[in-house]
Structure 1
Amino acid sequence: MNNRIRNIAAFALLALGTLVPIQAQKVTNHSIRSGEIWLDTDGNPINAHGSGLLYHDGTYYWYGEYKQGETILPDWATWECYRTDVTGVSCYSSKDLLNWKFEGIVLPAIKDDPKHDLHPSKVLERPKVIYNEKTKKFVMWAHVESADYSKAAAGVAISDSPTGQFTYLGNFRPNDAMSRDQTLFVDDDGRAYQFYSSENNQTMYISLLTDDYLKPSGRFTRNFIGQSREAPAVFKYKGKYYLLTSGCTGWDPNKAELAVADSVMGEWKTIGNPCTGTDADKTFYAQSTYVQQVGGKKDAYIAMFDRWNKKNLKDSRYVWLPVSLEEGKITIPWHEEWDMEVFADKPRFEVDKNTFLLNDKSFV
């Protein structure tokens, strides 16, 4: 009997020994599958919601809300303000936009001060990070809220490194106006702007920041007044500025909308829903959060969305799709699965009598 027990124990240890290396293997992703669980390089689900990206010195950094614990609906709630306790802002790094290394919680919750903006009982949403070339600081802005969602403020933090730790500087209402869903945009001239839903989400503000990116400069515009747009994501293409937003329907998906302007602080014109394909009228059951230009590739952009799971926020998924710029029209087509080859340079084919050009080589 003793020998039998020892043999069983030895077999169990041997089995464990063969399993450990398998579990420890690094994960490699070869494509993006929107709506599916996306694993980091350690094999854990990426946890970075309401996110934004930063491209710095050849590396992408993905920042987002780190959702942990039970999703709750407060007893006092008169609307679907589902939430988890604030854990902090997470950061992942990548060279290829497919494989992401977890860098940790770069702005953690403050657990011992119930009055602090970052206390677990509060609300922290949509963190975005930009780099200031003049101050050499990484600057994070986020939507910070009181537990009852009445604060409607922006919180700012800074760091000497993209992977933190970030130092929280405090909150304010930019331009003395409510600030909820928000994003940041740095123009080619180094000027930075905050785009944010304000006036109870009825109006979108665009605010020029100070040279250090830490506060509003005092110059701002009010846009889409009374149109209830949120979840802003901004990009620049061929000298024009584009703003992707969602409607305000709580956690329920709705139709996306794209607007264009000749200058950030100029007049914005809506040009319709850019999404095409399956469930385009519901933005693929997701909501915009950021548009990232792909480094080293001309006219290559990725539109990023959150597919929220309101009753289990930790299990919310990511929808990333390549932006199509065919024939000067901007669309976001649905792809079940794709990789960066979608941005590969396409052969140029032109017919001129008996001659055609293929990759700039002439054939007769």
Structure 2
Amino acid sequence: MPWSHPLFYGFKAAFCLLLTLSFCASDALGQGKTNTIYPGEVWPDNNGNHIQAHGGGITKWKGHYYWYGEDRREGLDPNYRYTSCYRSKDLVNWTHLGYALKVSKPDTILGEWVVERPKVYYNAKTKKFVMYVHVDGSVKGVSPDPSIIAYHYARVGVAISDKPEGPFKFIRTFRPLGHESRDIGQFIDDDGSAYLIFEDRPVRGFRIAKLSDDYLDVEKEMCLITERIEGGAIVKYEGLYYVIGSGLTGWNANPNKYATATSLSGPWSEFKDIAPPETNTYGSQSSMLVKVQGTKTTSIIFTGDVWKPKTQWDSRYLWMPLEIGDGKLWLPEPAPWTLNIKTGETKILKKK
């Protein structure tokens, strides 16, 4: 058959189409896209690497979700602490965008130190993204052994960026309203007001405080909840505020608990277990409550960390849709589940 024959061009076009489809299929398989979340298992990003977003927070902006968290992978420069950023449209498949924040140790901290639990807010007035983190470590004259992480610094750090993925510019550390601050959480109310949740160890409780207009400071305390809880998170569902948190047992999991109130200023109800207490919240610690408002329903997702202190880079995530409503909240036993980001519907699958 001559090269100029019409049939040749027909075969050539068909071959090119087949080759293109083959590459597309291969690319899709390489990305490993799925609609299923597997609690407690390795969670690969678009590059096939386990997601490094421990103690993290989720921010939604312009149709995308951004997941910020502590990067605890091996081989990082020990002179810095790193916050990773991932992006997703469906909360299931995540693209790694690199480091949103890379920060060096404050001069007043000696020896070991931490930058934990990043939470990012978008300020519509300033058009800036504002990140809060927990900064802690040994302090000269206070910590007896600077080689051991001693949580005496007890401050929040603030960083700012023009883009959700960063890079964020670190501004300062401070104690909100003069109080010690360890684990932090974030909450944005229906009216757009932004709040910081932080544990205050000396008073054996945690505080809910309103941020300033530019989100760069804490201006007003809403409530002090006298419950020994860290990993605090809040969600508003059907007009009621739900707060959850974990006990103070370090790396070891414990029974997480919740309370409710009609106002952030309280009064708050008695704290109750979110799961069978003997399971220690299925080995996880609360990190954030994510609200997914779809066309058919609104789902609330519990996001927690399954810590592995000796192999921190391999720490896992326990995400599950909550049973919530009428002042009750319950975390189902972990199992694979699917999420329809458009409708808001979730479906728990049978374990294999």
**Counterparts of 1:318 and 1:334 in 2: how far apart (Å)?**
14
After superposition, what is the alpha-carbon deviation per residue over 1:255-312, rounded to whole angstroms, capped at 9, x for unaligned?
1101111111221113411225xx7640010100001111435321110000000111
TM-superposed deviation, 1:149: 2.2
Secondary structure of 2:41's counterpart equals coil
Give the conservation status (yes or no) of the 8 Å contact 1:54–1:129.
Answer: yes
Secondary structure of 2:310's counterpart equals coil
Say whether 1:143 aligns with 2:141: no
Tell me the equivalent position of 1:239: 239
**Counterparts of 1:221 and 1:326 in 2: how far apart (Å)?**
23
Question: How has the CA–CA distance of structure 1 residues 121 and 85 changed in structure 2, closer, same or farther, with 3 Å as cutoff?
Answer: farther
**Counterparts of 1:259 and 1:291 in 2: how far apart (Å)?**
14
Question: How has the CA–CA distance of structure 1 residues 204 and 114 changed in structure 2, closer, same or farther, with 3 Å as cutoff?
Answer: closer
Q: Which amino acid aligns with 1:61?
A: Y
Q: Point out where structure 2 has 5 or more consecutive residues left out of the alignment.
A: 1-25, 139-149, 348-352
**Counterparts of 1:270 and 1:130 in 2: how far apart (Å)?**
30
Question: How has the CA–CA distance of structure 1 residues 292 and 176 changed in structure 2, closer, same or farther, with 3 Å as cutoff?
Answer: same
Tell me the equivalent position of 1:293: 291
**Counterparts of 1:101 and 1:43 in 2: how far apart (Å)?**
10
Q: Point out where structure 1 has 5 or more consecutive residues left out of the alignment.
A: 1-20, 72-83, 347-364
**TM-score, with structure 1 as normaliser:** 0.78
After superposition, what is the alpha-carbon deviation per residue over 1:24-78, rounded to whole angstroms, capped at 9, x for unaligned?
922213311111000001111100100010011110000000103379xxxxxxx
Pick from 36, 41, 46: which aligns with 2:41? 36
TM-superposed deviation, 1:220: 3.9
Secondary structure of 1:185's counterpart equals strand
Map 1:1-364; keep pairs closer than 5 Å. 25-69=30-74, 86-110=80-104, 115=107, 121-147=112-138, 148-200=150-202, 202-224=204-226, 227-275=227-275, 281-297=279-295, 298-325=297-324, 329-340=328-339, 343-344=344-345
Q: Which amino acid aligns with 2:215?
A: Y
Question: How has the CA–CA distance of structure 1 residues 192 and 85 changed in structure 2, closer, same or farther, with 3 Å as cutoff?
Answer: same
Secondary structure of 1:282's counterpart equals helix
After superposition, what is the alpha-carbon deviation per residue over 1:338-358, rounded to whole angstroms, capped at 9, x for unaligned?
111595399xxxxxxxxxxxx
Question: How has the CA–CA distance of structure 1 residues 152 and 192 changed in structure 2, closer, same or farther, with 3 Å as cutoff?
Answer: same
| 236-245 vs 320-329, greater mean Cα deviation | 320-329
TM-superposed deviation, 1:120: 9.5
Question: How has the CA–CA distance of structure 1 residues 162 and 326 changed in structure 2, closer, same or farther, with 3 Å as cutoff?
Answer: same
Which is strand-richer, 1 or 2?
2
Secondary structure of 1:275's counterpart equals coil
Q: What CA RMSD, in Å, does the superposition of the two structures yield over aligned residues?
A: 2.7
Q: Which amino acid aligns with 1:105?
A: Y
Secondary structure of 1:104's counterpart equals strand
**Counterparts of 1:213 and 1:327 in 2: how far apart (Å)?**
32
TM-superposed deviation, 1:115: 2.1
Tell me the equivalent position of 2:6: none
After superposition, what is the alpha-carbon deviation per residue over 1:197-245, rounded to whole angstroms, capped at 9, x for unaligned?
1034711111111111111113342212xx3111101100011111010
**TM-score, with structure 2 as normaliser:** 0.80
Question: How has the CA–CA distance of structure 1 residues 196 and 327 changed in structure 2, closer, same or farther, with 3 Å as cutoff?
Answer: closer
Give the conservation status (yes or no) of the 8 Å contact 1:86–1:122.
Answer: no
Secondary structure of 2:153's counterpart equals coil
TM-superposed deviation, 1:86: 4.5
TM-superposed deviation, 1:188: 1.4
Give the conservation status (yes or no) of the 8 Å contact 1:245–1:258.
Answer: yes
Aligned length, in residue pairs: 307
